[in-house]
Amino acid sequence: MAKMWLNAKRQIIKADTGWNDLASKNDAGFLRAENIEGVPFLSFIKGDPVRMFLDSIITRVLITNKPYILNYRCDAPATAQFMRMIVKKESDDVVSIEHDLINHGKISPSILFTENQTAHEQRCAICGKVEFKNEWHDALTNRKVFGTIHEMETKSVICPSCQEKVVQPLSEEATV
């Protein structure tokens, strides 16, 4: 588990030791708590559609006082990571965001997706699927679709399938 807390301005005010462990494990020391506290959370999020989506989740949690649970993918070049994010209101102007690893799987051969907002191919920030030749593919289960490509520039979006899941009426507890 890795957890951080945001103030009403969406600035990171604290991150736990689990967050630091995750940063260290992924060779991302620049993301340790001491380096991200005071920084706007959304500055770490790629793609305007994804930033707007996450900002709306935080707003929804602050207004409704109900947690929001989002299952998503967070892949490395050779590993698909299936994650759960829980956004909860902690006080009037503080929310917590907790990330848990649920499962993982090998992507073979590996493929590196690099962010480029002008790229033709798109990658869903929630399910991890890539729009390649006008169809959405999972890099884990359909690696052969990408052929011998070892790196691909993509822009972060929310795919049509995930858009349908996330735009839903308010319920007791929103889960995607």
Q: Rounded CA gap, 129 and 8, in Å?
A: 32
* CA 149 centroid distance within chain: 24
Do the strands 79-91 and 68-73 form a parallel or antiparallel pair, or are they unpaired?
Answer: antiparallel
What's the pLDDT tens digit per position in 65-94?
A: 999 999 999 887 788 889 999 999 999 999
pTM of the model: 0.81
What's the pLDDT tens digit per position in 115-156?
A: 999 998 899 999 999 998 888 998 767 767 766 678 889 999
